[in-house]
């Protein structure tokens, strides 16, 4: 198949089930235009709206977005405040729309210590959309993969201490069940914008066999074409999972 025909074939054909995105480069997008960083974050929210619509149209089942990392608290307080209010505004303004579009919202990350109004909004989004089945939007907020794994380990240790699990019973499969969204499949494709080529503490456990695509555009520039381009690249990859290549017959 030529690249052009692959691109046209995006909708039903070989769509990754779970796409996860590190939405990076808002600040640099703004700086390149002589704008304050916050303007990049605002435009980033628009890119997020486009992406949710596109993912749903394309037939992706799970879209995970990295919106605020455990380490992002180290940014200047004014920027942290702005990112918090953008999240508040996103949920307040977009929740009804997301619900109408049959999007189910899930949130991963540490809830403890968040502003109570933000914690309440996250819970409201999850509860309102719980039964929706078109697209699951996983919002990684106050999320760090090492912290997530440590929290899972704490819960497993408590089970062992209570005698409900033996130390030998703590297999990768069992530990994996204690992660934040263990009922969802691992990401097939992880996309990072901005040209950086690192995971920055995102889904370290779940990314074991994900295909990684790094795009040289800033997050506010991301759109449906960029998502489809990343999927075309994903299809070119040969996933082996440690075994031998499967014959695809194409």
| Catalytic machinery residues | 24, 72
Q: From the list ligand IPE, Mg ion, none, which binds 70 (C-beta under 5 to 8 Å, kind-based)?
A: none
Alpha carbon 48 to its chain's center: 11
Binding-residue pattern over the window 45 to 84 for ligand IPE, x denoting contact by CB under 6 A: ---------------------xxxx--x----------x-
Element holding 75 (H helix, E strand): none
Q: From the list Mg ion, ligand IPE, none, which binds 188 (C-beta under 5 to 8 Å, kind-based)?
A: none
Integer Cα distance of 193 and 160 in angstroms = 41
Residue 121: both structure tokens together:
């909004």
Spell out a b/e string for 201-225, using b for 16 or more CB atoms within 10 Å of the CB, else e. Answer: bbbebbbeebbbbbbebbbbbbeee
Minimum CB separation of residue 205 from ligand IPE in Å reads: 17
Angle between helix 224-236 and 37-58 (nearest 10): 60
Q: Which residue is nearest to ligand IPE (CB)?
A: 27
Minimum CB separation of residue 85 from ligand IPE in Å reads: 13
Binding-residue pattern over the window 164 to 203 for ligand IPE, x denoting contact by CB under 6 A: ------------------------------x-x-x-x---
- Candidates 15, 20, 22, 24: give the one binding Mg ion (CB under 5 A): 24
Bridge-based pairing state of the strands 103-108 and 18-22? unpaired
**With respect to ligand IPE, which residue has the nearer C-beta, 156 or 193?**
193
Residue linked to tokens 């995006």: 10
Integer Cα distance of 71 and 142 in angstroms = 8
Could you say which residues in the range 36-95 bind Mg ion, by CB under 5 A?
Answer: none
**With respect to Mg ion, which residue has the nearer C-beta, 106 or 192?**
192
Q: Which of these ranges, 25-33, 45-53, 90-98, 127-135, lies near ligand IPE under the rule CB under 6 A?
A: 25-33
- Candidates 16, 25, 187, 229: give the one binding ligand IPE (CB under 6 A): 25
Kindly list the strands in the beta sheet with 211-214, ordered across the sheet, starting from the edge strand earlier in the chain.
103-108, 135-143, 62-69, 18-22, 189-192, 211-214
Q: What is the contact surface with ligand IPE in residues (CB under 6 A)?
A: 22-28, 66-69, 72, 83, 194, 196, 198, 200, 219
């Amino acid at each position: 198949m030529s690249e052009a025909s692959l691109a046209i074939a995006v909708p039903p054909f070989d769509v990754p089930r779970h796409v996860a995105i590190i939405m990076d480069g808002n600040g640099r997008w703004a700086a390149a235009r002589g704008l304050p960083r916050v303007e990049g974050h605002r435009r980033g929210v628009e890119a997020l709206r486009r992406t949710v619509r596109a993912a749903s149209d394309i037939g992706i089942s799970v879209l995970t977005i990295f919106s605020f990392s455990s380490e992002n608290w180290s940014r200047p307080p004014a920027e942290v405040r702005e990112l918090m209010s953008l999240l508040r505004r996103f949920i307040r303004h977009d929740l009804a729309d997301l619900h109408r579009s049959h999007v189910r919202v899930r949130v991963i990350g540490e809830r403890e210590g968040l502003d109570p109004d933000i914690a309440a909004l996250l819970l409201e989004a999850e509860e309102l959309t719980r039964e929706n089945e078109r697209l699951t939007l996983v919002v990684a907020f106050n999320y760090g993969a090492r912290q997530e794994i440590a929290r899972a380990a704490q819960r497993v240790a408590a089970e062992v201490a209570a005698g409900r699990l033996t130390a030998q019973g703590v297999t990768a499969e069992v530990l994996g069940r204690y992660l934040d969204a263990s009922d969802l499949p691992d990401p097939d494709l992880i996309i990072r914008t901005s040209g950086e080529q690192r995971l920055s503490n995102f889904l370290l456990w779940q990314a074991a066999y994900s295909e990684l695509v790094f795009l040289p555009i800033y997050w506010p520039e991301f759109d449906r074409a960029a998502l489809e381009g990343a999927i075309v690249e994903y299809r070119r990859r040969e996933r082996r999972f440690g075994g031998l290549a499967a014959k695809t017959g194409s």
